[in-house]
Amino acid sequence: MIKSIGILLIAAAILWIEVPPLLEKKYKKELLVFSILLAIGVGLSITLGFEKPIPNPLDLLTIIFKPLDDVISHLLK
């Protein structure tokens, strides 16, 4: 619980630093992209804070490259 509050505080600090200049210049798209990325960051951090498993991007890559890797291992080892 404390971890989530800490993460939300950090997110609030980031909002406090970044949002006023964006609002001032009326950058709407930037604000949208910024909010989506921040939401992903907060979501992932809280998931990690509760020690729930997060899918590892490298495992997906390993599955994608597995056939090619087998060919290379067969040829070169």
Partner 1 sequence: MSLVEVSEQVLGKWFGKLLSFTFFLFSFITAGELVYIVSNFLRTEVMPETHAYPINILFILVIVYGSYLGLETIARTGELLFPIFVLLFTIFVILISPQIDAKQFQPILETQLKPLVYSVLIFSSTFSLPLVVMLMLFPVSINDKKVAQNAFYIGTILGGFVLLIIVSLSISVLGADETSVRSFPSYALAQGISLGNFIDRIEIIMASMWFITIFIKTLFYFYAAVIGLGQILKVKDHRSLILPLGMILVVVSLIIHPSVVHSNEYNKDTWILYVSVYGLFLPLLLMMVNKIRKVF
We find the least distance from the C-beta atom of residue 50 to partner 1, in angstroms, to be 13
> Which residues in this chain contact partner 1 in the complex, by CB under 8 A?
10-11, 14, 17-18, 21-22, 25, 27, 29-31, 33-34, 37-38, 40-42, 44-45, 48, 54, 56-58, 61-62, 65, 68-69, 72-73, 75-77
We find the least distance from the C-beta atom of residue 37 to partner 1, in angstroms, to be 4
Q: Are 49 and 3 in contact (CB under 8 A)?
A: yes
**Nearest alpha carbon to residue 3 among 50, 39, 38, 41:** 50
We find the least distance from the C-beta atom of residue 33 to partner 1, in angstroms, to be 6
Question: Is 41 exposed, middle or buried (CB count within 10 Å of its CB: 0-12, 13-18, 19+)?
Answer: middle
